[in-house]
Chain A
């Protein structure tokens, strides 16, 4: 089974692209499945089910969704192997821009849309910067010039990635994407011993642990203070 992790900001077009890409694979004898990770709510699983694609979903609730992802992906992979799927796609929303649970040796795709503004590539962390494939969507509603400028900004922050323009509505570019997502040489039999590409934030302040009161005396652990003089921040 191949595993592909697909992430990207909310509403960037992940589900649309995955659906069209899987549709572009029909006839190649590849049995796909999807697992959707989100925070509080998603009805993406319905969309996959409607398309006849087996799907599981996991909601992280009050936990950090990326931590939740890493703690559960192995179980999901075991499920996929048991069911003998050929391709397991994980869809997860990148919520804080800071981390992204890409795994070394597992194909990582970031979906980002043209409407998000040309400074967005700069703002998104490892989710964009350490992806292998970057899919840029919604090119149909901006100008050719904006597409080119946006793509060049993406290229500057991740020059080694393959960058593809894909239309999530019509599926233009999805066939091409599908050729990059499945490879007989990339089968896995377990995630045991694999590693994240990038460490998650050094979290754990009192608020992570359920504190709700505001004020200096309630703040413990890893706390960082804003510096109003220079605009930058520094650790206490």
Chain B
């Protein structure tokens, strides 16, 4: 691989330009040379600034291509199930469940006071704990002891997390932003992905935004909507953690549907009754351990119907107020 010319590398691995860009190596006009050739063609002073031995860089290029190839060909190993086996709570008391199976399409809520151990549970899943974390839980993927790639790969993570306070720090338009993300995920149909993300996000947000809107000027609800749509389409992580979708200007039910349509396992840390009851199950966390797992009952689903009516009424009023109407 290291002896191949840049032109040859480019034709076999179209993404390889990212490696050169991110390492600040410009090869314009030198595509016929190998990586080593380009570095050797640098002037004395350019090379001196260069923080590598050539061998290290060649090794990095090979590793980079291997990782990308693995990422691109990983479609086959889809996740059908994630299973948690019990450990102990903070006091060392064994957790009272046999096994907890999660499958794509499941919506599972996590409830319990702040600091009770919600993030540890998530971390156990993300780190695919093998009796080697403070909780001593064990996590299986597809009924097997998982491969170590889930621990260390940054492009193939088990859990994608939609954090609660979400600020954008980049100075880009919505379209540029989504495009950049799509490129880094090496999606084939980038234009299509960008369009569908923006359209779905607008379907979730109360107020519309355009592809040209700067991301830093999106409202809280719009940012959330954009991130949920973006994660649904671009993330390969089988588990999506949502930390409390607040009410503000976003259709929560549609947001869930969007994620479920992409066959995700959705975990929600929430105490909002509408969301909690939309879930199939609730994991109750206490003192660092899973205290119980509750299936949503028929009676609760009845309550959910009532809540949804109330919820619809609330958002209707909210929209009318926003439009400057007088309520009567």
Contact = CB atoms under 8 A, between A and B. Distances in A.
Interface in A104-144: 114-115, 117-118, 121-122, 125-126, 129-130, 139-144
Interface of B: 18-19, 21-24, 43-46, 48, 51-52, 56, 59-60, 63-64, 67, 119, 123, 127, 132-134, 151-152, 154-155, 160-163, 165-170, 177-178, 180-181, 184-185, 223, 227, 230-231, 234-235
B119 A172 contact: yes
A233 B45 contact: yes
B163 A140 contact: yes
28 contacts: A115-B169, A117-B169, A125-B51, A141-B163, A141-B167, A141-B169, A142-B167, A142-B169, A143-B230, A144-B230, A145-B177, A145-B178, A145-B231, A152-B184, A153-B184, A157-B22, A159-B63, A159-B64, A159-B67, A160-B63, A163-B154, A172-B119, A172-B123, A175-B123, A175-B134, A179-B132, A202-B48, A224-B45
Q: Which 7 A-B pairs have the closest CB atoms?
A: A156-B22, A159-B63, A125-B51, A126-B51, A145-B181, A159-B64, A152-B184
Contacts of B165: 140-141
Q: Is the interface of B mostly helix, strand, loop or mixed?
A: helix
Contacts of B132: 179
Contacts of B133: 175
Contact of B119 (A142, A154, A170, A234): A170
Interface residues of A, number: 47
B228 to A, nearest CB: 9
Contacts, number: 117
A198 interface: yes
B170 A144 contact: no
A211 interface: no
A145 B151 CA distance: 19
Contacts of A179: 132
**A122, A143, A179 interface centre (most CB from chain B within 10 Å):** A143
